[in-house]
Amino acid sequence: MFNFKAIVKILGFLLIVEGIFMLISMLVALLYHGSDVLPLLNSALITLGVGGLAVATMFKAEKRFSKNDGFIIVSLVWIVFSLFGSLPYLLSNSIPRLSDAFFETMSGFTTTGSSVLNDIEALPHGILFWRSLTQWLGGMGIIVLSLAILPVFGIGGMQLFAAEVPGPVPDKLNPRIQQTAKNLWAIYVLFTVVESLLLWAGGMSFFDAINHSFTTMATGGYSTKQASVAYWDSPFIQYVIIFFMVIAGTNFTLSYSALTGKFDKVYKNEEFKYYILFIVIFTAIIFSGLLLTTQLGYEQAFRDTLFQVVSIITTTGYATADYLTWTPFLMVLIFTLFFFGGSAGSTGGGIKIMRIVLLLKNSYYELRRLLHPNAIIPVRFNKRSVSEQIITNVLAFFMIYLMIFFVSTTLFTLIDPDLNSAMGAVATSLGNIGPGLGNYGPAENFSQVPAVGKWFLSFLMLLGRLELFTVLVLFSPAFWKK
C-alpha cells in the first residue's frame, strides 16, 4: 500500500528546509531593523519544530517508496509549504486573514505571482524578502520536479525527458537524482547572482535587485514595488530582466549544456527554436499594432511589447505596461499567450512549448494521413519519433486543461459575473502567470475576490503547477485501492 511513514518523514525534512529559509528572512529583517523579526522567528520555530518532530517520529521509516507515494508527496509538499509559509504574513499582521495569506503563499510557491496586496511598499523588508523567497524556492523545486520526477510519472508527455535527464526509475528514486538536482540548482543560483549584480549596477538598490532576481529566475513576477518593474523607467533594467526571463523560460538542461560548452545542443533543440520563434512572431505583430494605434516611440513600443510578450509566455507576470489599454486585437493576442507557457524543464508554467509543438505537428500530420491513408507518418521531435502513447498523453493533457479552464470559468462567474475577469482569473491561475484580464489586470490585484474565490484560485494554481494529473490522480478511487 502506501508508505505513509516515509511520506511524513520527507515532508518533515522539507519543513526543516523551509524553516531555515524563514530564519534567513529573519536575518534580513534584523539587518533592516524591521518590526517583522519576531514574527519571522516564531514562524521559523513553529515550522522547524513540526518538521523536526515529524522526522524524529518517523526516523526509522523505510526510505523506499512507490510511484503512488510520489504523487502524494509532490501534491502535499506545495500544500504544506503554503500553509506553514503563510505564518510570517499572519503573525506579522501583514496579511491578517488566512485565505489571503494562503493565496499569497500558494501564489509564491507555485510561481504564479498573483497578489492580494494593495500597498507592497508598506511591508517590512523581512516579509518582502520571504515573499520573494517563496517564489525562488518554488522555482527551484519545479526544475527538479519537471526534469527528474514527472518523467517517470508519464505526465502529459514529460516522458520525453526521461532519457535525457538522470532521474527516477519505476517504483524507486534513482540516487543520481541528487547529483542532477545539485547541477540544476547550481545553474539556478549562478543566474540569480549574475542578474542581481546587473540589476544593482543598473540602478536598483541591492535589496530590490536580489528580490527581482529571485522572482525572475522563478518566473514568478513578485516585485517589491506596487507598480512592478514599471517603477524603474530604465531600459537597461528592463532589458536585463527580459534576457533572464527568456533564460528562466528555457529548459534548464539546455542552460547546463550551454555553460558546459555544448552549444550545438541548444541551437539544435526543436523546442527552443519554436520558443524563440513564438516570441519573435508575437512581438513583431504586437509591436506593429502599437506603432499604428498609439503615440509611443519605436524603442518604447518595442520594449513594452517585448517585455510583455516574454513576461506572459514565460508566465513571469511582471508588468511595464497595462495591456488592457491596448486595442482588443492586441489584447486577444496577449491572452492567447496565456495558454503557451515556457519550455518543459523550465520554471515556467502553462501548457508548455513542447506540447504546443507536438499538437501542431500532430494536427498537420493528420491532414497528411488523410491524403495518404496507407503512409506511415510518425510525429518527430528533436529528430526522434514520438510514440503514440506520448501523443495521446499530450492530447489528453490539452483537452483536460481546456475543460478545466471552461468549467472553472463558468464556476468563477458565480463569484465575479464579469466574463472577461473570470476568464482572466482562471487562465492566469491555471497557467501560473500572475496578472489576468478585467478586474484582475496588470494594474489591479486579487484583494477584492471573496475568500471562497481565493481558495478556488489557489487550487487552480496548484493544479496547473503540478501538471494537472499529479493532483487529479489523487481524486481517483482506483489510486487508493491496494
* Residue 410 annotated as part of some ligand binding site: no
* Cα 146 to Cα 155: distance, rounded to the nearest angstrom: 9
The answer to whether the CB of 346 falls within 8 A of the CB of 372 is no
Per residue, the 3-state secondary structure of 283-317, as one string, reads HHHHHHHHHHHCCCCHHHHHHHHHHHHHHHHCCCC
Three cell numbers, residue 41? 522567528
Give the span between the Cα atoms of 30 and 124, in whole angstroms.
Answer: 11
Residue type, 344: A
Question: Would you say 316 is a known binding-site residue?
Answer: yes
Contact indicator for 49, 70 with CB cutoff of 8 Å: no
Q: Which helix (H) or strand (E) holds 186?
A: helix 176-201
68 annotated among ligand-binding-site residues: no
Residue 174's CB: how many other CB atoms inside 10 A?
14
Question: Containing H/E element for 184?
Answer: helix 176-201
Picking from 388, 322, 330, 382, the residue whose alpha carbon sits closest to that of residue 357 is 382
* Nine-digit cell string for 101: 495569506
Number of CB atoms found within 10 A of residue 387's CB? 14
Q: Which long-range contacts does 201-209 make (Cβ < 8 Å, 24+ apart)?
A: 202/234, 202/236, 202/237, 202/240, 203/232, 203/234, 203/236, 203/237, 204/232, 204/237, 207/32, 207/125, 207/129
105 labelled binding-site residue: no
Cα–Cα dist 405/429, whole Å: 10
Residues 372-383, buried b or exposed e (16+ Cβ, 10 A)? eeeeeeebebee
Dihedral sign (CA 92, 98, 103, 105): positive
Q: Are the CB atoms for 99 and 455 separated by under 8 Å?
A: yes
Cell of residue 212, nine digits = 527581482
Cell 517590512 belongs to: 124
Q: All 3 cell numbers of residue 214?
A: 529571485
Residues tagged in the binding site annotation: 111-112, 220, 315-316, 432
Residues tagged in the binding site annotation for K(+): 111-112, 220, 315-316, 432
